[in-house]
Amino acid sequence: MKSKKKLVMGVCFCLITLLALSVIAGCTPTTKTIGISQVVTHPALDATRQGVLDGLTDNGYTEGQDLTVDYQNSEGDPSLFASIAQQFVTNEVDLIVAIATPNAQAAVAAAKGTGIPVVFTAITDPVGAGLVSNWKSHEDESVTGVSDMIVVSDDVDLIMEIMPDLEALGTIYNAGESNSVFLVEKLKEACDALGIEVEEATVSTSADVATAAQSLVGKVDAIWIGTDNTVVTGLEALVGISEDNNIPLFAADEDSIERGCIAAYSFDYYDIGYQTGEMVARILKGTDASTIPVEKGEVISLSVNTAAAERMGITLPQDIINQAETVFTE
């Protein structure tokens, strides 16, 4: 009798143990692997990447615990765009995050037909770049992401508030970046409506920025640059030439304002990245990327640099300083 009782108790104990182990196993998150491809190192894109990681952490995926991150930076080398993307596909990552347009285009091409979702970020015009067919519905494409599309006419209006006698506005951009071409078209539309002439100078690498800036001296009253990765990487040369020639320099991102441009309506790129990280977490948890509409950055704010303005020969109106969310004084 005692032996039967012991046998029953033993069986019950085993069943309870197996049940507990199965519950624990069911609650343990599966480790995911993502590839992050960044086009070049500069503050805005670095902040974007950190935002992605923090957004993932706050939504249940922490690097080194239940998340493995393969981070690759092409440093602006076009020959690496495709090879990095193909490396991710070969390694069968669960998802690819592409920071900026050239890397995203390579990632979408490499991942096509593999089932690996691609999430882009810090990209202005994803439709024009060929990443998705439209902003809302892209059922046949395992691609989505977050756009940093700005309203260029707002920046032009801001420049006019600061420089009401503006007649000619220069811009420098990489004609090979579809985002930049899109923004320059929007710039010309906004300026044309106000009777402002636009002078263009194009670059292929960041080393060309100084020459391009010098070509605008004597032709323009001010310079505006968009979110062009090539130009932003070589920003210090452009700032120096603007200061030496008293040409006010305006930008489209807050990091460039901190680095010496005068003013911009822009996104905080950390926030863009964080928003992207939340989207990535949803996909890793099972949501189909093709069902998620492309999102835009959620918050645009005004940032100004009063010291940069003085170095370029102008004084910012106090009402603009008062409106600014962020004021840099060095």
pLDDT confidence of residue 29: 52
Determine contact, residues 204/76, Cβ cutoff 8 Å: no
Same domain membership, residue 219 and residue 73 = no
- Within a domain: 53: yes
Same domain membership, residue 290 and residue 259 = no
Same domain membership, residue 61 and residue 40 = yes
Counted domains in the chain = 2
pLDDT confidence of residue 24: 40
CATH code of residue 219: 3.40.50.2300
pLDDT tens, residue order, the chain (330 aa): 444 444 444 444 444 444 444 444 444 457 999 999 999 998 889 999 999 999 999 999 999 999 999 999 999 899 999 999 999 999 999 999 999 999 999 999 999 999 999 999 999 999 999 999 988 867 778 999 999 998 999 999 999 999 999 999 999 999 998 889 999 999 999 999 999 999 999 999 999 999 999 999 999 999 999 999 899 999 999 999 999 999 999 999 999 999 999 999 988 899 999 999 999 999 999 999 999 999 999 878 999 999 999 999 999 999 999 999 999 998
Same domain membership, residue 287 and residue 237 = no
274 lies in which domain range?
32-148+268-296
- Within a domain: 88: yes
Same domain membership, residue 188 and residue 318 = yes
pLDDT confidence of residue 153: 95
User: Which residues share a beta bridge with 37?
Assistant: 72, 98
- Within a domain: 11: no
Token pair for 104: 């995203």
- Within a domain: 108: yes
- Within a domain: 62: yes
- Within a domain: 18: no
CA nearest to 211, candidates 195, 181, 231: 231
- Within a domain: 7: no
Same domain membership, residue 272 and residue 231 = no
Same domain membership, residue 311 and residue 287 = no
Same domain membership, residue 257 and residue 164 = yes
Report CA Rg, the chain: 25
Same domain membership, residue 164 and residue 118 = no
Same domain membership, residue 209 and residue 321 = yes
Same domain membership, residue 95 and residue 83 = yes
Same domain membership, residue 107 and residue 78 = yes
- Within a domain: 142: yes
pLDDT confidence of residue 138: 72
Residue 129 CA to residue 118 CA, distance in Å, equals 14
